[in-house]
Structure 1
Amino acid sequence: MPAARESLLDAAKTALARRPWPGVRMVDVAATAGVSRQTLYNEFGSKDGLARALLRRETDAYLHGVERALAVEGGPVDRLAAVSAWTIAAARGNELARAMLTGCWSERLPAPSRPRASASPVPAQRRADAGVPSPAELLALVRDKAVNALNGRARPKDTEELAMACESAVRMALSYVVAPSPAGEDPVELVRGVIGRWTGA
């Protein structure tokens, strides 16, 4: 039931925008999605299962955005600048993405839970039950995606240097999430300048 699952996750995210996660009720999520409460429980098993699935979807959406940014036209600096721009936009526009990237979870959000073995008959739920990456793991995933996309096209002397440039671009972007830039300052241009000097591009 992929359509019902997505509708339920959309409804849960809408509910979370209106009230803290502890105040989100399963019956309201089901009603908003236009399905029975039993369908909700069949898909997610519990409210914790719904939370894990919501966090997994937000993580996957961020990573898909990284892949899109790495596919833009241009050289390595342009692509890393696009990843930085996406990271800043994703974190500023989505409190779940911001929490996943920074590890700063407020009491109003569903907290990430430890990975657990899943007996769910729903493959997407088994993936969600496996947990979401920590901020350090997420950064490593982005770095590795960037290295794979850019390797052979950048000027750094070796893959290790390229990996450091990729990681630095994301870390600089995250610094602007935690401490926003003053008006008129473009964080992506800073990333472009620093990474451009580093890679010689």
Structure 2
Amino acid sequence: MPTARDVLLDAAFTALRNRPWAGVRMVDVAVSAGVSRQTLYNEFGSKEGLAQALVRREVDGFLRGAEQSLDAGGSGAGVPARLAALGAWTVRAARANPLVRAVLTGCWGVELPLMARPGRGPGVPGQRGPDGTRPVETPTELVDKVCDRAVAALAADWDGGPGLAAACEEFTRITVSYVIAPAAKGEPDPLERIAAELLSVPAGARQLQADDPDNHQ
């Protein structure tokens, strides 16, 4: 059975779907959740606390989904295919959830909570929320967490040497670029091809390619 906290966060997320965060009123969230406004304040302390707890929950859900995408099909799916599944999940989750997209890219629209933008108020990334909520990651920190999960999930089935961590990091950053600038409509999904290419080239060779000016012509 959902807790009062879960129900309140669900109500807050629904409210954010329907209107800009600046227009979301605490009393409306409480009414939608079927609890008193005092219960809402007791749980989160303030509207800023509610916002940070909401962002924290959505990011945690994204990270759980990332782990599940890496496990889909098990080792039989192949390391490149599992890494591509992570990329597909990341793009899909970011397109469906504006809070996940904002934390991944650092691009906070005016309709999102002001407290979650760097430099805005007490709930900025890196600071614990008023109700003790864990800090919200910066984009770099979130990408690092996704990479760490990818390496941990794929290492046992990887026999290509020490380049797995570098390939996962590069792939995750490329995936975030597809969140910001999606592929043209009708184009085939490039993520599986990109994953296969990155995993087939040793990290040192990739660095040499990146440093070669002929590759940028």
Does the 8 Å CA contact 1:20/1:107 hold for their aligned counterparts? yes
Aligned CA distance change for structure 1 residues 145 and 165 (closer, same or farther; 3 Å)? same
After TM superposition, the score normalised by the length of structure 1 is: 0.88
Does the 8 Å CA contact 1:155/1:200 hold for their aligned counterparts? no
After TM superposition, the score normalised by the length of structure 2 is: 0.82
Report what 2:139 is aligned to. 135
93, 108, 113: which is aligned to 1:110? 113
Give CA deviations for 1:137-196 in whole Å, capped at 9, x if unaligned: 0000000011111113113311xx111111222222221111111122133xx2221221
Partner AA of 2:149 in structure 1: K
Q: Equivalents in 2 of 1:186, 1:11: separation in Å?
A: 37
Deviation of the 1:2 alpha carbon: 5.6
Q: Equivalents in 1 of 2:171, 2:188: separation in Å?
A: 14
Does the 8 Å CA contact 1:154/1:199 hold for their aligned counterparts? no
* 1:151 alignment partner, SS class: helix
Deviation of the 1:33 alpha carbon: 0.3
Q: Equivalents in 2 of 1:140, 1:117: separation in Å?
A: 19
Q: CA-atom RMSD, angstroms?
A: 1.8
Report what 1:52 is aligned to. 52
1:176 maps to 2:181? no
Report what 1:10 is aligned to. 10
Does the 8 Å CA contact 1:155/1:199 hold for their aligned counterparts? no
Q: Equivalents in 2 of 1:102, 1:20: separation in Å?
A: 19
**Structure 2 gap segments, 5+ residues each:** 117-122, 202-217
Matches within 5 A, 1:1-201: 3-73=3-73, 74-111=77-114, 112=116, 113-114=123-124, 115-116=126-127, 125-126=131-132, 128=133, 130-158=134-162, 161-187=163-189, 190-200=190-200
**Structure 1 gap segments, 5+ residues each:** none
Q: Equivalents in 1 of 2:186, 2:21: separation in Å?
A: 35
Deviation of the 1:131 alpha carbon: 1.5
- Aligned pair count reads 190
Deviation of the 1:107 alpha carbon: 1.5
Give CA deviations for 1:17-66 in whole Å, capped at 9, x if unaligned: 11111111000000000000111011101111100100000100100010
Does the 8 Å CA contact 2:127/2:136 hold for their aligned counterparts? no
Identity of matched residues, %:
51
Deviation of the 1:198 alpha carbon: 2.8
